[in-house]
Structure 1
């Protein structure tokens, strides 16, 4: 790696081109952020009456340590200088304002990682934020990440899957908000006074996704007695290969939200809808990535087959049994995929083993994708409520609804004088319960999934070694 002397924000001159987490300023900054986090309320503010008067005196001192850490590390990251300056300004504004609800809009607008996507490029990220599937509070967090943007991926994005906002990233180190199941870095999670007109980036940690996938898949394969083809077994054992599969899957999935025959709001953010609509949208995006992976494999792309089985195994083995059963739309999508493949005899639970027809799996999975695409295409000619019922019918053809469901009984069971958004209240939290197969699998995988909290490529091996020692 080439080393260059560059000036820092505070005037210091140090060597650029080394790992941020190896610099002595990183553990100092991280410790300061971790000292602040317990003082914060859910909205990110600090309630000094609740925390005690000594915290009022301590908080500005600790924030100054955060600022000094940023100043010391910024020379390692000359591409982030504008963001670091704005970040220091927002930290000082937060402290000078008495540590009320934080507003880091200025630094958010200055942070533009998608403008320079280069493989191995590091970023130091500090924001008050919640972490999706992690910490729901807007605590101050510090994360050092590295970009995943190899030439083959850049070429696919440039020529085939245009997605200028997408970031493939890996963890270098993080504060406790990311010692969770969260695998994304999204701008909408950051505390700001008002949302920007548009977001310019979104990041997904492919190292966490790959490490979690490998651990859960290995356990599921063992529990279910699946006989993996040799090449897929090698893939599951290979962290780097899985990361490549996930970064390609994520890039295609992400762009699919705005491609194809869509509802007027493809992300459905502004619409209150039954959770199976969100489940179908996320599954559509995953199955589109699967369909594209089949094409890539047929063209000789070495990552195409890996993406297919990353989608299949993560969707079938992890999604249905992760999280709670309160309108779990990702879980629903996984249940639907498994049930569809089972009905079409691609997967079969027999003799206490799960058998998979590897030859027919791509064709039948693409059939499900086509059924969802047909639903979307026809939806443009339907009233909203009719479209919701058609989507319900698609799901209910393969998954048994809860016996107490009003929606399962049809329109006559609902008060149709109410607007559609009010009828969402009649959706049960677990409208499509787990099958007996998944209830049993959930019990066996519960501990494995819990153990993936905070997992990365770096600490997965350490955890496995510790588990062997403990055993």
Structure 2
């Protein structure tokens, strides 16, 4: 049951004693809310509106009743979550406004601004979130979604954020339960995915589901290690077998990765929002952030943080085994980053594929991985003094020095093969969907891991048979 609930203190923190001891998903109102949301979702168009003239559309009264059920369930659950009281009040208002407006394109800006999870980063704190939104790497439409989540903010992580890796907007989170948009590959809750009338001047939080990332990592890594015949040290085997330990690795990795987008020598907007650039530039940016997390993890391990060594393994294995063979080959910038890391380590004899088995030089891996990080950092530092198109070519040359471009690539032939009278954004049209195809090693691995990767859709820490393929 629940204890007596009080409002957050003057600093916005909710002590563990003040939290509900009841799981929100076990309250009778949660399945009612979830069922009402699932009823609404198929009625919605891509932009989140409901077209009552469309085939199979509901009567207006049916949609109004469904939204009323959502609001009623939120009202029942909200007293268990005093830290979200202002958000839930605004949410009910936004739901009613959507219904009163004839279910046009939804606008939940007011409730989005009222939702402030980063103001209450308390380990174990629950949140009930309802928004019309798309789920990144999941559902591309702005359907109504409901998710119950729990904050991951252990003392050791809070201290690192306070003293070494300031990131006041970052929220480590885990799933309790969710509607269909999260029964996908999505592992984030980002405010920019939510349907609003206008984007806020700045976002005040961002959440990453470390339980899904950890469970997916464990399943894919277990399969890859078996397929590749990789001999693992005992501490790595113990990591892969331990969901909680993997979650700690990912919540730290994500926190450092996230802040890196705005730190360092940056010749451009690191998030590249509303910019049109060749996808290898996105790939280099994501890899830079991961390798920075790796570099910091080496320092943390030397300083006695056990999570530091775990982050190193997580970065190496997720980047080398899962990223290159996940998704399609159309501008797959995360896949490209994984290919580049593997090729770099292979060409520096840290990774060897001999006698049909993969071997890793565990002693040299940190040094050589940090060496690649330094090369990317130099690319960025030099890029500050370059014109955009020159910087793009420099990025291409860095990638192409380790990965073979497609033989039909115009970019691989150099500047003379492109019409440089066009603005840079037009030259992106000359980039092939798969500028750097998979190597023979990855083509073979992709076939063997395909079903395993597909099986991670919707995975969480509580998925039955946790890491079985």
Q: TM-score with structure 1 length normalisation? A: 0.96
How far did 1:459 drift? 1.2
Q: 1:310 aligns with which of 303, 311, 314?
A: 314
**8 A Cα contact 2:43 2:57, kept in partner:** no
Output aligned runs, 1:13-412, within 5 Å.
16-52=20-56, 54-412=58-416
Report the secondary structure of 2:145's partner residue: strand
Map Cα deviations across residues 351-395 of structure 1 (whole Å, 9 max, x no partner). Answer: 000000000000000000000000000001110000000000000
**8 A Cα contact 2:174 2:212, kept in partner:** yes
**8 A Cα contact 2:108 2:196, kept in partner:** yes
- The separation in 2 between residues aligned to 1:276 and 1:301, in whole angstroms, is 33
Report the secondary structure of 1:461's partner residue: coil
Q: TM-score with structure 2 length normalisation? A: 0.96
Report the secondary structure of 2:54's partner residue: helix
Map Cα deviations across residues 49-76 of structure 1 (whole Å, 9 max, x no partner). Answer: 1145643220000000000000000011
How far did 1:269 drift? 0.9
How far did 1:29 drift? 0.2
* Equivalent residue number for residue 461 of structure 2: 457
How far did 1:205 drift? 0.1
- The separation in 1 between residues aligned to 2:327 and 2:191, in whole angstroms, is 23
Matched, 1:435 2:435: no
**8 A Cα contact 2:410 2:430, kept in partner:** yes
- The separation in 1 between residues aligned to 2:432 and 2:358, in whole angstroms, is 30
- The separation in 2 between residues aligned to 1:234 and 1:198, in whole angstroms, is 41
Is the alpha carbon distance of 1:236 and 1:462 closer, same or farther for their aligned partners in structure 2, counting shifts above 3 Å?
Answer: closer
**8 A Cα contact 1:16 1:75, kept in partner:** no
How far did 1:4 drift? 1.1
Report the secondary structure of 1:415's partner residue: coil
Is the alpha carbon distance of 1:151 and 1:447 closer, same or farther for their aligned partners in structure 2, counting shifts above 3 Å?
Answer: same
**8 A Cα contact 2:5 2:82, kept in partner:** no
How far did 1:266 drift? 1.7
- The separation in 1 between residues aligned to 2:26 and 2:41, in whole angstroms, is 23
- The separation in 1 between residues aligned to 2:85 and 2:402, in whole angstroms, is 53
Is the alpha carbon distance of 1:449 and 1:98 closer, same or farther for their aligned partners in structure 2, counting shifts above 3 Å?
Answer: same
Is the alpha carbon distance of 1:393 and 1:245 closer, same or farther for their aligned partners in structure 2, counting shifts above 3 Å?
Answer: same
- The separation in 2 between residues aligned to 1:357 and 1:16, in whole angstroms, is 48
Is the alpha carbon distance of 1:156 and 1:53 closer, same or farther for their aligned partners in structure 2, counting shifts above 3 Å?
Answer: closer
**8 A Cα contact 2:215 2:466, kept in partner:** no
- The separation in 2 between residues aligned to 1:108 and 1:208, in whole angstroms, is 24
* Equivalent residue number for residue 11 of structure 1: none
Report the secondary structure of 1:418's partner residue: coil
Is the alpha carbon distance of 1:308 and 1:114 closer, same or farther for their aligned partners in structure 2, counting shifts above 3 Å?
Answer: same
Bigger mean CA offset, 53-62 vs 392-401: 53-62
Is the alpha carbon distance of 1:170 and 1:432 closer, same or farther for their aligned partners in structure 2, counting shifts above 3 Å?
Answer: same
CA RMSD of aligned residues (A): 1.3
Aligned length: 458
Report the secondary structure of 2:306's partner residue: coil
How far did 1:271 drift? 1.7
- The separation in 2 between residues aligned to 1:266 and 1:444, in whole angstroms, is 34
- The separation in 1 between residues aligned to 2:278 and 2:97, in whole angstroms, is 41
* Equivalent residue number for residue 4 of structure 1: 4
Structure 2 residue ranges without an equivalent (≥5): 8-18
* Equivalent residue number for residue 12 of structure 1: none
- The separation in 2 between residues aligned to 1:429 and 1:59, in whole angstroms, is 42
How far did 1:18 drift? 1.2
Report the secondary structure of 1:4's partner residue: coil
- The separation in 2 between residues aligned to 1:229 and 1:17, in whole angstroms, is 39
- The separation in 2 between residues aligned to 1:340 and 1:107, in whole angstroms, is 46
**8 A Cα contact 2:222 2:467, kept in partner:** no
